[in-house]
Amino acid sequence: MASEHVERKLSAIVAADVAGYSRLMAADEEGTLARLKAHRKALIDPKIAEHSGRIIKTTGDGMLVEFASVVDAVRCVVEIQRGMLERNADIPENKRIDFRVGINIGDVIRKGNDVFGTGVNIAARLESLAEPGSIYISGEAYDQVRDRPFAFDDLGMHPVKNIARLIRVYRVRLGDVTVKPKTVRIREPQRWRLATIVAGSLIGLLLLVSVVWLIFFGLPLKRTTADIIAPSTTHEASGSEEMSAWAKIKRSDQIDQLSSFLDRFPDSRYAEYVRHRLNALRSHPEIKKFRDCSDCPEMVVIPPGSFTMGVPQTESDRYGFL
């Protein structure tokens, strides 16, 4: 007799069951069955179909599902487990339905609508190791998804029932998984990031300008002759004696003329400016000004000498800060 043809294929197998199912049934048989049916109808079965999975069989509290891609299998189960967290949020802990899931990829034997083989057995053993609400995958499955947007905990090598070799086990970290949609739009996020960068740069520039302004203009500085600017004559009262005298000496470098103005008008609005001019002239009597022609700029003769550049250590607080 000719041997029966055996169909083999490489598949990603998902084994899942309800943690503590016997306890839940003992406490509330009808309620447990109703909640499990509702979870399957609203969440589990639609997610499996969305990710091109095929339910091979169900066993009351569990199921076996086949996927052509282990990436689709992991993504599907992650979305289911996340959905279960939301659906259980308002359910008392003793009535929650939590799934344990094992995922493996391997060569399986297909017979009718069922699958058999070591690949299926390993997925079932991983499911039995898994904690409620968690997803365990084999090292072979991990090799296929390690560079995908998933995060894992390496749980090391584990012996499993009826498998001669140790199995490398990884746990999927649900909180660190990014489930990408099938169509990803790139331009809008880039525009958003660009707008954020530009706005941040402008804010930073404004802060920098504000700090520089406060340092150089906002802090009280010691005033020197160079800091004293001649007062504005916008509001001068034409014809007054003070204004007439000021008009004669405001550009004068004659010590006697400036001194005469201060003697006559010691409380004048221009008195401070004139005093600084006098101090400068008396400190440097040798300063001479000249022009090479009537339209040429005014020049100043600087006598020879030396000077010290910088601020000496004894004047560390010269500008109001150390």
Query: Using one digit for the tens of pLDDT, what is the confidence trace for 12-51?
Result: 999 999 999 999 999 999 999 999 999 999 999 999 999 9
pLDDT, residue 226, reads 45
Q: Which of 75, 62, 72 is nearest to 20 (CA)?
A: 62
Spatial CB neighbours of 64, under 8 Å, sequence gap ≥ 6? 13, 14, 15, 55, 56, 57, 58, 115, 120, 123, 124
**Does some domain include residue 192?**
no
**Does some domain include residue 154?**
yes
229, with CB counted inside 10 A (0-12, 13-18, 19+), is: exposed
Q: Which of 51, 141, 54, 62 is nearest to 97 (CA)?
A: 62
Domain boundary among 176, 207, 237: 176
Are both 102 and 236 inside the same structural domain? no
**Does some domain include residue 278?**
yes
Name the token pair of 314.
Answer: 């004894």
CA distance 239 to 243: 7
Residues 183-201: tens digit of each pLDDT: 444 444 456 566 777 777 7
Instruction: Say which residue, 273 or 319, is predicted with more confidence.
Output: 273
Are both 50 and 170 inside the same structural domain? yes
Are both 228 and 162 inside the same structural domain? no
Sequential DSSP letters for 15-29: EEEETTHHHHHHH-H
pLDDT, residue 138, reads 94
Residue 127 · residue 136 · CB < 8 Å: yes
Sequential DSSP letters for 172-229: E-GGG-----SS---HHHHHHHHHHHHHHHHHHHHHHHHHHHIIIIIS-----GGGPP
Domain boundary among 120, 147, 176: 176
Question: If pLDDT is split at 50, 70 and 90, which confidence band does 75 have?
Answer: very high
Residue 117 · residue 93 · CB < 8 Å: no
What are the two backbone dihedrals, phi and then psi, of residue 235, each rounded to the nearest 5 degrees? -105, 25
Question: If pLDDT is split at 50, 70 and 90, which confidence band does 237 have?
Answer: very low
Question: If pLDDT is split at 50, 70 and 90, which confidence band does 156 have?
Answer: very high
Residues 93-121: tens digit of each pLDDT: 888 999 999 999 988 888 878 888 888 89
**Does some domain include residue 187?**
no
Residues 253-278: tens digit of each pLDDT: 788 888 888 888 888 888 888 888 88
Number of domains present in the structure of the chain: 2
Q: Which domain holds residue 71?
A: 7-176
Residue 143 · residue 46 · CB < 8 Å: no
Backbone region of residue 52 per phi and psi (left: phi > 0; alpha: psi in -120 to 50; beta: other values):
left
Lowest mean pLDDT among 35-49, 52-66, 71-85, 185-199: 185-199
Residue range 128-142: mean pLDDT, rounded: 93
What are the two backbone dihedrals, phi and then psi, of residue 118, each rounded to the nearest 5 degrees? -60, -35
CA distance 271 to 278: 10
CA distance 99 to 27: 18
For residue 134, is pLDDT > 50?
A: yes
